[in-house]
Structure formats: C-alpha cells, structure tokens
Amino acid sequence: MIALACDHGGYELMQTVKENLDKRNQKYKDFGTYTSESCDYPEIAVRAARAISSGECDKGIFICGTGAGMSMTANKIRGIRAAVCSDVYTAEMIRRHNDANVLALGARILPPELAIEIVGVFLDTGFDGGRHGRRVEMINALDEK
C-alpha cells in the first residue's frame, strides 16, 4: 500500500501519478489534499508519513512545489527515509542504497512524463542490503526517542 500526499502545488501532478498507479494495479491510500486550494503541506505530509511509520503503508509518494517541504516534514517521523528526486538515477539509488520509503517530487520542477518514470523506478527497485543495510541502520538509530 502506497501512501500519497500532496499540497496545492502538487495536486495536479498527483492526479497523473494516481492514474499511473491505477494502470499498474498498485493500491494506494490518498491522504490529500483533495483540491487545488492552498493548504499547509506539513499537515498532510505528517498524516501520510505516520501511516508508513505505523506499517499501515509500505512506501509513500509525496508531492509539493519542490518536494522540499514534503521531505523535510516526512523525515521528522520515526522510520521515514524520504528523499527528493528529480532524476531517474537518484530514484534508483535511493532505493538500492538508502532503502528510501518516501519519494518526494517537485511538481514545479518536473515534467509529468519524467515524474512518472521516476515513480516507476522508485516502486520497481529493491534494496541492495549488505553494507548498505549497516548504513541504513545507522540512519534509523538517529531517530529521537
């Protein structure tokens, strides 16, 4: 189950992402926003991030204007490893090396076709483990009690 979160800046791109997830038969839970009216991205990101942290969802796709606010908020939540991606290589590596569980996208930066390609790579790429597992554990150990 994929947790989806966007603000007004990411709303339109999120509709395209949802169409693509439907084509892939990928299940998702949409935490909003549900219109293009201005809203506060931390409120939405935290709800979706907590659903990943609790195990209700496995991964997330969070979209705002730049991806920055969404990723900053998500990374405050225990167990979240969110990264902003604007290219396919980074999308592959945040899965292989960092076991990222949230992909943050900037709707004001990315052409929709590239965003969809990045989503596909994020969803289809596994974690390499090995020495990268040790490093991810080091990140996880930094979660504040």
Binding site for ligand RB5 (CB under 6 A): 7, 9, 41, 64-66, 68-69
Residue among 8, 39, 97, 132 flagged as catalytic: 97
Angle between helices 88-96 and 112-124 (to 10 degrees): 20
Rounded to 5 degrees, what are φ and ψ at 22? -60, -45
Nearer to ligand RB5, 17 or 99 (CB): 17
To ligand RB5, the closest distance from the beta carbon of 135 in angstroms equals: 27
Nearer to ligand RB5, 60 or 69 (CB): 69
Q: Name the amino acid, one letter, at 71.
A: S
> Is 64 among the residues known to form the active site?
yes
d(CA 24, CA 42): 28
Nearer to ligand RB5, 77 or 99 (CB): 77
Residue among 6, 64, 85, 132 flagged as catalytic: 64
CA 85 to the chain's CA centroid: 9
DSSP state of 17: H
Active site amino acids: 64, 97
